[in-house]
Amino acid sequence: MQNDVAAVIIKGVMPTANGCAVFLGNDAKTFVIYVDHSVGNAIQMTLNGVKKERPLTHDLIGSVLLGLGTTLDHIVINDAREGTFFARILLRMENELGKKIVELDARPSDSIVLALQQKRPIYVARAVFDGVEDMSEILQRVLKQQAEEGESGAGAEDK
């Protein structure tokens, strides 16, 4: 599997007018997936380790998997068509009947939240990774701009 996928991490989550931009990548390349606000917030909360008072949908799914004795093995962003990304969640089940791998179709945004919550790897199919535009420079510019705004904002509060 290692040659046909690329391992990626979440490099940033930025709010946009219509949702959130999730930057994924590795040392070679960064690309972006646009998600709705609620899932973008779930990704950011998971990255920040925010404890929730009540379980959200992704927390519930994690609890169901745990209750069924199933573990999330990894996720794969396996396709991209006309700006829409597709993903698969791979679950590992083991019980008295034997071992089983279950592969589920899912939105990449939901898959990412679950992978982050379960501390499991995120992969991108090599064909998808090679086909997406490299957004590394844009991410660096946005992060630099945010850092500068943070510095100027902090200075203004001190006055």
Domain CATH number, residue 153: 3.10.690.10
Could you tell me the end-to-end alpha-carbon distance of the chain, in angstroms, rounded to an integer?
Answer: 56
CB 85 within 8 A of CB 108: yes
Biggest alpha carbon distance in the chain? 68
CB 87 within 8 A of CB 72: no
Structural domain including 46 reads 5-158
Query: What is the DSSP secondary-structure string of 37-57?
Result: HHHHHHHHHHHHTPPPSS--H
Domain count across the chain: 1
b/e for 74-89, b at 16 or more Cβ within 10 A?
bbbbbebeeeebbbbb
pLDDT at position 40, please?
92
pLDDT at position 154, please?
56
pLDDT per position in the chain (159 positions), as tens? 567 999 999 999 999 999 999 999 999 999 999 999 999 999 999 999 888 888 888 888 998 998 888 999 999 999 999 989 999 999 999 878 889 999 999 999 999 999 999 999 999 999 999 999 999 999 999 888 878 887 776 554 444
Could you tell me the strand order of the sheet in which 70-81 lies?
Answer: 30-35, 19-25, 5-16, 122-125, 70-81, 84-95, 98-106
Task: Show the tokens assigned to 148.
Answer: 């500068």
